[in-house]
Structure 1
């Protein structure tokens, strides 16, 4: 697969913003697992926190509930400042509208850099990790979730559409030199839907169709629905969809 069309990603996620929270079932489970990792690590008081790709604020809200920070900085490719204002209710925060792959990190350093279900949209995650590292203080925490090569495997097998996901070994290699890796693991979240059509609606309402422009002919859609039901029907009569997140908590080594 070629470079990701960031304008396409921005359009799809902007269109899905109003429906995202009610449909992002797997992402909400991932967010809770990230918070548990952070709580288990013990450090919950920070001077400066950055969340990359804050979106509608689902993960932001959990961060606000479970940690404290003197300075909150947020970034997203979509203009979601209004969502943050509702969460912060007059408290001070910074929001930077930008593609994080080409952003200057507000030219500062952080004690915690977090990002939930975002980095899979980057064209060069390895280089991005290198840039993050330069903006993370010594003993600072990197808290991330992305997805593995098994993510949405049903869709990839039937349509050939999917992102190029790095492997666990890739992440291990990218982090080893500069971080103490506290947690790095691949998990699985299996969702069920009444029909393949509902699967497609779910993906649209969570912005996932930003992978590429895809037009369905009546024949292709009918074939997709028939094949999906045949291959991925569950005992309940519903059909399954698999998310495969990778969760990371790493601490920057002292140099």
Structure 2
């Protein structure tokens, strides 16, 4: 699907105050990537972060950067208080269109690359922005992510396999040092609770449908969700499927 980046920025901006509380899986993903990065090397000279959001990774990683920490997001509305509280250089705009800072020791990103439209071009830009032997460390989401929503509504982002990402990394000049994935089914009271959770994390910015939600359509959605995705505890599940990559510039 074609992603409307303006709508994405608007949705994340509107829900940035609830994101920190609701995005519990993104926090778990961030912690895992952070631990992997710092186990490789405790300090880096220059860092560029794509899709910094409200700063889950930024706040953890900034004490490991000796010199310059530059961050990117679509708009300052997506970053909450991050830019006010920290000494960061902000590169606003679509990462697929803006110029990147150069001579980066490491480029990082969590839960953002699934929004990108041309992965090969993005990887070429990142490779060009890295210093010799520079590192790219990122997480995104795999094929099973939000499978329940796609199964019922037939809408959402296009997700890819771990092999797809590996192939594009290698093709664009990276040696893959590590790549792994996991899946987690989160439980909610009903389908309505799932929709609220997704809305509070801003991910509904991917919704390009013209579906009108009212009492009748919401009831039908809840019934279908319960029919196909109920758990043993009389709740319903929503699948998260994160992918992780550590790669070095050849």
TM-score norm. by structure 1 comes to 0.91
* CA displacement 1:143-175 (0-9 Å, x = unmatched): 111111111000000100121123222211111
| Corresponding residue for residue 28 of structure 1 | 27
- 1:221 deviation in Å? 1.5
| Corresponding residue for residue 169 of structure 1 | 163
| Corresponding residue for residue 51 of structure 1 | 49
Structure 2 gap ranges (5+) = none
- Range with bigger deviation, 145-154 or 227-236: 227-236
| Corresponding residue for residue 195 of structure 1 | 190
TM-score norm. by structure 2 comes to 0.93
| Aligned: 1:120 with 2:114 | yes
Question: Residue 78 of structure 1: which of 59, 75, 78 is its match?
Answer: 75
Question: Residue 225 of structure 2: which of 224, 228, 238 is its match?
Answer: 228
| Corresponding residue for residue 152 of structure 2 | 158
Determine the C-alpha separation between the residues in 2 that align with 1:210 and 1:93. Answer: 26
- What pairs up with 1:32-43 in 2 under 5 angstroms? 32-41=31-40, 43=41
* CA displacement 1:57-83 (0-9 Å, x = unmatched): 111112135x23311101100215662
- Range with bigger deviation, 206-215 or 242-251: 206-215
| Corresponding residue for residue 9 of structure 1 | 8
Q: Secondary structure at the match of 1:10?
A: helix
RMSD: 1.6
Alignment: residue pair count: 246
- Range with bigger deviation, 13-22 or 175-184: 175-184
Determine the C-alpha separation between the residues in 2 that align with 1:39 and 1:127. Answer: 27
- 1:25 deviation in Å? 1.0
| Distance of aligned partners of 1:82 and 1:148 in 2 relative to their CA distance in 1, 3 Å threshold | closer
Is this contact kept in 2: 1:61–1:87, CA < 8 A?
Answer: no
| Aligned: 1:105 with 2:105 | no
Q: Secondary structure at the match of 2:53?
A: coil
Question: Residue 216 of structure 2: which of 207, 211, 219 is its match?
Answer: 219
Is this contact kept in 2: 1:193–1:238, CA < 8 A?
Answer: yes
- 1:229 deviation in Å? 1.2
- 1:212 deviation in Å? 2.1
Determine the C-alpha separation between the residues in 1 that align with 2:168 and 2:132. Answer: 17
* CA displacement 1:73-106 (0-9 Å, x = unmatched): 0110021566224542xxx320121111101013
| Corresponding residue for residue 249 of structure 2 | 252
Determine the C-alpha separation between the residues in 1 that align with 2:240 and 2:3. Answer: 20
Q: Secondary structure at the match of 1:104?
A: coil
- 1:206 deviation in Å? 0.5
Is this contact kept in 2: 1:30–1:145, CA < 8 A?
Answer: yes
| Corresponding residue for residue 140 of structure 1 | 134
| Corresponding residue for residue 182 of structure 1 | 177
| Corresponding residue for residue 238 of structure 2 | 241
* CA displacement 1:16-41 (0-9 Å, x = unmatched): 11110000011111101101211332
